[in-house]
Structure 1
Amino acid sequence: MALPLHVSDGLGGPAGLLAAFYTAFGVGAVLGSVLARYVGRLPLWPVTTGIVIAFGAFLLPVGLGAPTWAAMAGFAVAGLLWPPYASLSTALFQRSAPRELLPQALAASSAVRVLSVPLGTALGGPLVTALGAQGALAASAVSITVLGLAAAACTARTVRRPKA
């Protein structure tokens, strides 16, 4: 919701510029899909939380008003990170949930993912109204990064804690 407004109002760009942003994300996502099979060989928790942190960080140039080429490059790298995250988070559920609870855990995860799109859209309008398109993009990028850092900290505490 914020990106089209940022491109048209903030950058004064034509529809083709918005299409270029989406194309950059899409090209990154295609490459990320190819690379996802190799990422699965790495430790799941650190890589998954690292992806969330990096995703937010690479969206930040868009929200900070970086030059268009830098914002678009960040958007492309964010696209690259998207497919591995989806497969790694599913793998984490499969490896972490007890076998008898796995169907419920995956169903709950799917429900959250399905509800996040309309909820994000509902919250996005007031956020863009309050902060402007660029401010909403910056707030989103910072929020994603902070959540990733919090998840990494929680994961590190859990891994270091000795089992009784």
Structure 2
Amino acid sequence: MTIATPTKTSSLPAPMRRLAAGWTLASAADNFLMFVLLWSAGPQGWSGQQTALLVVAIRLPAVLGGVLGGRAVDRFGPVPMLLLDAVARVFLMGALAISAWNGDLHIWTVLALGAAAGTTAPLSYAAARTLVPRLVEPHLLGKANALLSIGDQLPLLLGAILTGPALGLLGTGPAFLLPLAMLVAVAVIALRMRAAPQYAPVRPDDAGTTGARTWRSARVIGLISLSVAYYFTYGPYETVMPYFVREELGSGLGGYTVIWALFGAAALLTLPLAARLSRHRPGLVNAVGAIAWGALMLPLAFVHDLTAVAIGFAVSGAIWGPYAAIETTALHRWTDPADHGRIFGTQRAVLAIASPLGAAVGALGIDRLSPPAILAISAAGCALAGLAALSIRDLRRSR
């Protein structure tokens, strides 16, 4: 590693662009895996309880992987941990492809291999976000995080678009070769990142000597807690939408693909706003965004027209788009760079379990409630979480 000399520019350096590409591919592999498994649950004959178990089994190990992996990023460096995750998941995707080559997904095999993949995936998340302030100058931080957040939004679009063709043209087992190829590319990018020059990230004036002070900060706790609630209330949409599309909208895989593709595309279109929005009051911006998202999705749960639901999802995607980049920039500026691996690893751990727990609750609810009722409860919960965040003065007013 070499130390970069600060020069006032408005463009992002090549290593930052490579990092964004690597994170996008790593995230796309993870999203594609979940899309394939959730859509295949019904045809494979899995019950709601089995689907819920699958989601939790794949995401629950992320708690351990995030907490320990974040510390490993601080200890061993972000680039080696990015490489480790890519190589580990290459082998795991290969094992999934071989085990399901004849089209049959055995639930216990999927649980074991999926859990292992879920353990290492947080390494890429923590490593990528730890690298950002080391690859760009401080005035480019918001712009860099907006670029990195393409890896949060584009994979949703890619997963929605690629799931149908991959399953239809390749079959269940060979479809897993697609995320395998993505992760091979991530490994190549990580190898190239080893020689990238780095800046010394700016340390906040109010940072403590250890991460303990960070976790006593109301604005940091409030910001991450808002995301936990946001992801939890979003979770049921993952498992309930297939039922909603089939039973309430009278559509199939094509309609399901269109809905999520529009959501992802709209989120990508609003990402450039993140750099500007993160300069002001990020806690206030994200809290209002959560309220708006929930208020929009609530009436959509009772709409029975595919076109109307697709348009509503596009608008909700536009609201969601800048959220993660704004949060990441705020955490970069509010916390000590020496603890970034731990901060983002822990953040990934709690977010990685929040969404699947919500998804599991949604899957269990299918046996007792209608899809519209579950989605309406989720939307209302998201709006309430945003209102609760607004009550935290330090979060609301911090710039």
Whether the TM-score (by the shorter chain) exceeds 0.5 is: yes
Q: Which amino acid aligns with 1:85?
A: Y
* DSSP-derived class of the 1:116 partner: helix
Query: Which of 135, 141, 158 lines up with 2:379 in the alignment?
Result: 141
RMSD: 2.4
Q: Deviations 1:70-106 (Å, cap 9, x if unpaired)?
A: 3222211221222311011112222333556544332
The aligned residue for residue 162 of structure 1 is: none
Equivalences for 1:37-116 in 2 at 5 Å?
Answer: 37-65=275-303, 67-98=305-336, 101-116=339-354
Q: Work out whether 1:131 is the aligned partner of 2:389.
A: no
The aligned residue for residue 121 of structure 1 is: 359
Q: Give the whole-Å Cα distance in 1 for the aligned partners of 2:340 and 2:264.
A: 31
* DSSP-derived class of the 2:367 partner: helix
Q: Deviations 1:18-65 (Å, cap 9, x if unpaired)?
A: 222112102112202233233223321110111111121222232132
Q: Give the whole-Å Cα distance in 2 for the aligned partners of 1:113 and 1:106.
A: 10
Query: Which of 241, 252, 256 lines up with 1:14 in the alignment?
Result: 252
Residue pair 1:56, 1:145 contacting (<8 A) in 2 also: yes
Residue pair 2:298, 2:376 contacting (<8 A) in 1 also: yes
Q: Give the whole-Å Cα distance in 1 for the aligned partners of 2:327 and 2:366.
A: 29
Larger CA deviation: 90-99 vs 53-62: 90-99
Give the number of aligned pairs: 160
Change (3 A) 1:15 1:158: closer
* DSSP-derived class of the 1:65 partner: coil
Q: Which amino acid aligns with 1:119?
A: L
Residue pair 2:300, 2:312 contacting (<8 A) in 1 also: yes
**Could you tell me the TM-score, scaled by structure 2's length?**
0.37
Larger CA deviation: 150-159 vs 135-144: 150-159
Residue pair 1:62, 1:72 contacting (<8 A) in 2 also: no
Q: Give the whole-Å Cα distance in 2 for the aligned partners of 1:66 and 1:50.
A: 27
Residue pair 2:281, 2:396 contacting (<8 A) in 1 also: no
The aligned residue for residue 29 of structure 1 is: 267
Higher relative contact order by CA 8 Å / sep ≥ 6: 1 or 2?
A: 1
Deviation at 1:8, TM superposition (A): 0.5
Q: Give the whole-Å Cα distance in 1 for the aligned partners of 2:395 and 2:310.
A: 35
**Could you tell me the TM-score, scaled by structure 1's length?**
0.82
Q: Which amino acid aligns with 2:316?
A: A
Structure number having the greater helix percentage: 1
The aligned residue for residue 161 of structure 2 is: none
Q: Give the whole-Å Cα distance in 1 for the aligned partners of 2:261 and 2:334.
A: 35
Please say which structure displays the higher CA radius of gyration: 2
* DSSP-derived class of the 1:21 partner: helix
Q: Give the whole-Å Cα distance in 1 for the aligned partners of 2:341 and 2:245.
A: 42
Change (3 A) 1:70 1:117: same
Q: Give the whole-Å Cα distance in 2 for the aligned partners of 1:25 and 1:122.
A: 22
Deviation at 1:129, TM superposition (A): 2.4
- Which runs of 5 or more structure 2 residues have no equivalent in the other structure? 1-238
* DSSP-derived class of the 2:272 partner: helix
Q: Give the whole-Å Cα distance in 2 for the aligned partners of 1:60 and 1:68.
A: 16
Deviation at 1:148, TM superposition (A): 0.8
Residue pair 2:293, 2:382 contacting (<8 A) in 1 also: yes
- Which runs of 5 or more structure 1 residues have no equivalent in the other structure? 160-164
Q: Give the whole-Å Cα distance in 2 for the aligned partners of 1:102 and 1:26.
A: 28
* DSSP-derived class of the 1:130 partner: coil
The aligned residue for residue 69 of structure 2 is: none
Q: Work out whether 1:3 is the aligned partner of 2:241.
A: yes
Change (3 A) 1:55 1:158: closer
